[in-house]
Chain A
Amino acid sequence: MGIMKNALRERIRRKDIYVVIMIGILIVMMCMSGAATLSINGVSVTEFQMVMPLVMNVISVLGGGIAIALSLRTIPNEYERKTSHLVWIRGVSQWKYHGQLALANIVSSVGALFILYAGVMIFAAVRGETGVLAKGVPAFLIFSVSTAAVSLFTSAVSLVLPSMAAGVLCAAFMLAGTMHPILETVSGIVSGVSRQLVRAILFIVPDLYAAESQAANLLSGKTVQIHSILGGLLVLYVCGLLLFVLRRKEA
């Protein structure tokens, strides 16, 4: 676990995490100050149970973006600055090396997500939503599956693609994954080549929204669909396999 600990230490010393904390504080302040308001058909939505799923969606997209930013350069940096040489010669397998770096990416991405999520919990506490607070930890575990998958996918792709291409691909993966229901609606509206294209995206990109929406369901007391959570875990597993399969020829 030395490689993972070292990569995490780099994160902490580079102070990336403080940027995330700032974003988290901003979210809480926006929610609590009423600066961000939502209205449906001209009626202002103030009910916590209605605002919360929407805030969770925003956090999930933000968390996905942060996961990509935190995971995109970790492995390529090791190879570019040649620190990989001194790891390879010590007989550390590529799977172990990349796996530990990817794990550090997941831990820091999920940690960043937790900071953002804590904003919602603080908001819930202020509103006196004790029922929500009680389910906070299990809901976060469900909520973090998609972010972990985005981070793992980014780590795997960054092994073989240049940073720019990997970043664009991962952003597309994350956005299409978290906006699956919207894309499904779009596929029903458009026709011809556009429809085929949207349907192809829906077929290729896993539904990340399905798993994370279960966290909001749990928090708001709705039925939790276990198969959606299992689907999220399956995506995580497939991304792990991708990391195992993709290799570097040179250190």
Chain B
Amino acid sequence: MNMLSCRNLKKIYQKQCVVNGLSFAVQEGEAFALLGSNGAGKTTTIKMILGLIPKDGGDVEKQENIRIGYSPETPYFHPFLNGREVLEFYGSLQNIPKKELKEQIPALLDRAGLEDSRTKVKNYSKGMLQRLALAQALLGDPKLLILDEPSAGLDALGRVEMMQTIRSLKEDGKTIIINSHILGDIERVCDRGIIIKKGNLLYEWEKGKENRSLEEIFVEKIGGM
């Protein structure tokens, strides 16, 4: 069953087509990767799915009434808040009852690997911001998670921990769309994905379908157009 499907998505910025008729579907419970070089149109696609920017063509169909959690590429939170307050703020926007929120927040901070929730966000490292971004995406137990470069800015250990967390979320039955440059991480976590270049769909990747690694496929496809 499709959790989300995009048909013929199109986005034009200043007369330049950055997403050109992109179509793909994401099945319920799978981890799906959006792959491509910088400027391929991955983040633009995600923003169109989320309704953050208007589409210039095509359709996005989602399962009815699904809650979507989103972790942005460059997470930015109100700098005067601490981690706990950030989650309280976004939780209140989702109309999560206060009592429920109080129970959820420590668990979410723990899951994202943020022990210290008292430090102000302005003093967070990039890695801590990524973790907090993941924690806020998990507020309200969403069925679909869209993670834009979730391991950007993390050190090696942080990256491993982030991927472990994402894998455990998948095991919990969440549908996950990941946009990442780190192909090894994608190969470990994702079931399927698409490689895009300049907004065009180049290749539909599926785990175990080919004997080659994702990196080899990626280099061949991206270098070959």
Contact B52 A251 (CB under 8 A): yes
List A residues 92-111 near B (Cβ within 8 Å). Answer: 92
Given A88-B51, A89-B50, A89-B68, A83:B77 Cβ within 8 A? yes
Given A88-B52, A89-B52, A2:B80 Cβ within 8 A? no
A85 within 8 A of B: yes
- The minimal Cβ–Cβ distance linking B138 to chain A, given in whole angstroms, is 13
Total number of A residues with any Cβ neighbor in B under 8 Å:
20
Stretch at the interface among B88-96, B168-176, B178-186: B88-96
A133 within 8 A of B: no
Contact with B along A62-93 (1 / 0, CB 8 A): 00000000000000000001110111111010
- The minimal Cβ–Cβ distance linking A101 to chain B, given in whole angstroms, is 12
B81 neighbours in A (Cβ, 8 Å):
6, 9
Contact of B51 among A13, A14, A89 (CB under 8 A): A89
Q: Give the most central of B70, B77, B89, B136: most A CB within 10 Å.
A: B89
B213 within 8 A of A: no
- The minimal Cβ–Cβ distance linking A172 to chain B, given in whole angstroms, is 31
In Å, the complex CA distance between A83 and B129 comes to 13
A92 neighbours in B (Cβ, 8 Å):
93
Contact B77 A251 (CB under 8 A): no
B150 within 8 A of A: no
Contact A14 B53 (CB under 8 A): no
Contact A83 B50 (CB under 8 A): no
B51 neighbours in A (Cβ, 8 Å):
88-89
- The minimal Cβ–Cβ distance linking B81 to chain A, given in whole angstroms, is 8
- The minimal Cβ–Cβ distance linking B82 to chain A, given in whole angstroms, is 11
Total number of B residues with any Cβ neighbor in A under 8 Å:
21
- The minimal Cβ–Cβ distance linking B131 to chain A, given in whole angstroms, is 15
Contact of B72 among A14, A86, A250 (CB under 8 A): A86
Nearest to B74 among chain A residues (CB) is: A82
In Å, the complex CA distance between A11 and B47 comes to 30
Contact with A along B57-74 (1 / 0, CB 8 A): 000000000001010101
- A: residues with CB less than 8 A from B are 2-3, 6, 9-10, 13-14, 81-83, 85-90, 92, 249-251
List the 7 closest pairs (A to B, CB-CB), nearest first.
A2-B92, A251-B52, A13-B80, A90-B93, A250-B53, A81-B76, A89-B70
List 5 extra interface pairs beyond A85-B52, A251-B47, CB under 8 A.
A6-B89, A10-B80, A86-B136, A90-B93, A250-B53
A-B contact pairs, 27 of them (CB 8 A): A3-B93, A6-B89, A9-B80, A9-B81, A13-B80, A81-B76, A82-B72, A82-B74, A82-B76, A83-B76, A83-B77, A85-B52, A85-B72, A86-B70, A86-B72, A86-B90, A87-B93, A88-B50, A88-B51, A89-B68, A89-B70, A90-B90, A92-B93, A250-B52, A251-B47, A251-B52, A251-B53
